[in-house]
A and B are shown apart, each in its own frame.
Chain A
Amino acid sequence: MSLISLRGIEKYYGTYHALRGIDLDIGAGEFFSLLGPSGCGKTTLLRVIAGFEGVSEGTVTISDRDMTRVPPNKRPTNMVFQSYAIFPHLTVAQNVAFGLRRRSDLNRQAKDTLVEEALDMVGLGGFGARASTALSGGQRQRVALARALVLRPKVLLLDEPLSALDKKMREQMQVELIRLQRQVGITFILVTHDQEEALVMSDRIAVMFDGKIAQLAEAEALYRRPVSRRVAEFIGVMNFLPATVADGVVDAQGLGKIVVEDLQSEATTDGETMVGFRPETATLLFPGQDSEGRVARGTVSEVVYYGDMTYYDVRLDGCERPVRISMRNVFGRPVLDIGAEARLAWSPGALTLFR
């Protein structure tokens, strides 16, 4: 049973069509991500769920109650804003206690306890009396989290919460958000433009382009089996090779002929198309090494050494554009030079055939 149900959501700003027929079900306790480039409608969709934006058409159901016309203060959702929106005129504890004021069932002491617990949970125990203006970016983020979580919402909405933090802080907060979500067990909906963040944190990811959901899948499925070239390019790196399909056989430039059944996805029609593979799914053989599978030949055109990894650009024989290959620098494997002859071991199962 789903906690949040969106049906036929359409949103217009004047003539601009921001959301185009969104149907989405999000389960209780799920860590769900809305991923897409800026302007794809992901934040608008989050604000529709929160109640800050009305819809032009469609319905929003949360816990079996129609919430389409319910204002944000009456919804069982709380939001962590991109700017954190910490009240500058209140202390840290007053910020966290802001939403508890309406809880007439709690006395002052019970509220103080809840605030203290919430601050402990986000690692800010003892910060209650501080002025909220004296906090660092990461601390403000934690206050925003505590302020929302103290109300025990059914859904926590996070609008690009990590985009303002530096890389190290961001990685630390990613882990912490996952831990928090498991601890409190409520549904998290995260909006992000960072594919890595979405892959690391989410149970399921909806990739959005132009106000539509392009693909909805678990992280691994999304990475391994993107439904379109656009999704594949947005999530990580993928090499594309032009190919022709005829009579159940694909002829891919630089790789040769492959039987369609061996590929990850099957094309339905004959004609010009593309095959794609991830940089880590093919292996560059070093001199003297052999492979029992299929091997394509070419020349190394670029080497980027990263310490633990080496990225190669390899121009396959018969191809115009080079493909990118990533190799882990395990002990004993030499790094090839630019211009060296390259033999690429690959397998049809790692290829994705696009329509």
Chain B
Amino acid sequence: MQQETTRGLTLIAPPLLYAVALMAGPLLAIVVFSFWTQDYLTIDRTLTLANYREALSDPIYRAILLRSLWISGLVTLITVALAFPVAYFVSFHVDPSKKSLWLFLITIPFWTSYLLRIFLWKVMLGFNGVLNSIFAYINIPLEALGNATGIAWLQEGLSAPLYSASAVVLTLSHAFAPFAILPIFVALEKIDRSLLEAARDLGETAVTTFLRVTLPLAAPGVVAALLIVFIPTVGDYVTPAQVGGPGGLMIANMIQTQFLGLNNAPMGATLAVLAMLVVTVIALATIWLARRLSGVRP
């Protein structure tokens, strides 16, 4: 027994050390930092909640955190809403022998670096970009369209759609699509097809069968997809920095500014801890809500 334990610990020691050194350590440091304060060039190491007080009362931080949640919430909804039909199609309408080929094709965008994909979107969305050229060529009344829908960059006519919150939403939705498709696909694959026949047999139409059987049974996959997209996008830093412009900056950009630009590491740490807490609360609430709605008992 003693020997078994020693051997087990020896085996997991390298990854454990790695995780402690590079995950738990820095995380702990962030939490400690968040209770310190910056005193011009030095750090005041008395523990205080001053940073939290400031972060929660200053409208700038609040606005940026809310904008982060809004953008990633929108990204999550768009991504999952678009991913569901794709996953459904592959699971229910693609020949079983061709399913792995389809999944393979869906993951192909991942073969390109994330940064390269962002730059490709810049080419698409720039002032002389693909999208604007098309609009100019077919002469779409962008201002009218923008006024009708309330989308800011459209209201400005042929100004670039780039450097806006919409550009961030678009880029992130595209980047995270496969993350949303795969868990939903797995959940749909697990549904016993005879359950759908049973529902038809018991009098339901194709549509009501979908609502009463397919959707509730796919719920775990949908929840997984929601969280897989939401959690990393709230803290995404590269996309808003590259395509967001001043109106599309998110909390991660503010944290970066605090640490490197304003030399206020404690404030950056505080914002990071707050962002993590908010994401945790929203994730737990989503799981709790999904459990209640789908009626699955623990």
A interface, CB within 8 angstroms of B:
50, 52, 71-73, 77-79, 81-83, 85, 87-90, 98-99, 101-102, 131, 147-148, 151
Q: Is the CB of A98 within 8 A of B216?
A: no
How many chain-B residues does the 8 Å CB contact rule pick out?
A: 20
Determine the chain A residues whose CB is within 8 A of the CB of B295 once the complex forms. Answer: 89-90
A71 CB, min distance to chain B CBs, angstroms: 7
**With A72-B200, A79-B201, A99-B203 as contacts: A85 and B217 at CB distance below 8 Å:** no
Determine the chain A residues whose CB is within 8 A of the CB of B217 once the complex forms. Answer: 88-89
**With A81-B194, A85-B195, A87-B213 as contacts: A72 and B296 at CB distance below 8 Å:** no
Q: Is the CB of B204 within 8 A of A73?
A: yes
Q: Is the CB of A72 within 8 A of B197?
A: yes
Q: Give CA–CA (A50, B203) in the complex, Å.
A: 12
Q: Give CA–CA (A52, B203) in the complex, Å.
A: 13
**With A87-B195, A87-B213 as contacts: A78 and B202 at CB distance below 8 Å:** yes
Determine the chain A residues whose CB is within 8 A of the CB of B195 once the complex forms. Answer: 85, 87
Q: Give CA–CA (A8, B295) in the complex, Å.
A: 46
Nearest 4 pairs of A and B residues by beta carbon:
A99-B202, A85-B198, A85-B194, A72-B200
In the complex, which of the residues A50, A88, A90 contacts B201, with contact meaning CB atoms closer than 8 Å? A50
Q: Is the CB of B198 within 8 A of A73?
A: no
Q: Which residue of A lies closest to B196 (CB)?
A: A85
**With A89-B216, A89-B217 as contacts: A83 and B192 at CB distance below 8 Å:** yes
Q: Give CA–CA (A82, B294) in the complex, Å.
A: 26
B interface, CB within 8 angstroms of A:
192, 194-195, 197-205, 212-213, 216-217, 294-297
Q: Which residue of B lies closest to A89 (CB)?
A: B216
Q: Which residue of B lies closest to A90 (CB)?
A: B295
Q: Give CA–CA (A88, B297) in the complex, Å.
A: 10
Q: Give CA–CA (A342, B217) in the complex, Å.
A: 66
Q: Give CA–CA (A90, B212) in the complex, Å.
A: 10
Determine the chain A residues whose CB is within 8 A of the CB of B202 once the complex forms. Answer: 73, 78, 98-99, 147-148, 151
In the complex, which of the residues B205, B213, B294, B297 contacts A73, with contact meaning CB atoms closer than 8 Å? B205
Determine the chain B residues whose CB is within 8 A of the CB of A151 once the complex forms. Answer: 202-203
Given A99-B203, A151-B203: 10 more A-B contacts, CB < 8 Å: A52-B197, A72-B200, A72-B201, A73-B201, A73-B203, A83-B192, A90-B295, A102-B203, A148-B202, A151-B202
Q: Is the CB of A131 within 8 A of B297?
A: yes
Q: Give CA–CA (A284, B30) in the complex, Å.
A: 93
B297 CB, min distance to chain A CBs, angstroms: 6
Q: Give CA–CA (A50, B197) in the complex, Å.
A: 10
B182 CB, min distance to chain A CBs, angstroms: 22
Q: Report 23 cross-chain contacts, Cβ distance below 8 Å, ordered by A residue.
A: A52-B197, A52-B200, A73-B204, A73-B205, A77-B201, A78-B201, A78-B202, A79-B201, A81-B194, A83-B192, A85-B192, A85-B194, A87-B198, A87-B213, A89-B217, A89-B295, A98-B199, A98-B212, A99-B202, A101-B203, A148-B202, A151-B202, A151-B203
Q: Which residue of A lies closest to B219 (CB)?
A: A89
B84 CB, min distance to chain A CBs, angstroms: 18
A218 CB, min distance to chain B CBs, angstroms: 29
Q: Give CA–CA (A98, B204) in the complex, Å.
A: 9
Q: Is the CB of B200 within 8 A of A73?
A: yes
Q: Is the CB of A89 within 8 A of B201?
A: no
Q: Which residue of A lies closest to B213 (CB)?
A: A87
Determine the chain A residues whose CB is within 8 A of the CB of B200 once the complex forms. Answer: 52, 71-73
Q: Give CA–CA (A90, B202) in the complex, Å.
A: 15
Determine the chain A residues whose CB is within 8 A of the CB of B216 once the complex forms. Answer: 89
Determine the chain B residues whose CB is within 8 A of the CB of A72 once the complex forms. Answer: 197, 200-201
A49 CB, min distance to chain B CBs, angstroms: 11
Q: Is the CB of A89 within 8 A of B294?
A: yes
Q: Give CA–CA (A210, B213) in the complex, Å.
A: 35
Determine the chain B residues whose CB is within 8 A of the CB of A88 once the complex forms. Answer: 217
Q: Is the CB of B197 within 8 A of A89?
A: no
Q: Give CA–CA (A83, B193) in the complex, Å.
A: 10
Q: Give CA–CA (A102, B204) in the complex, Å.
A: 8
Q: Give CA–CA (A82, B192) in the complex, Å.
A: 12
Determine the chain A residues whose CB is within 8 A of the CB of B194 once the complex forms. Answer: 81-83, 85
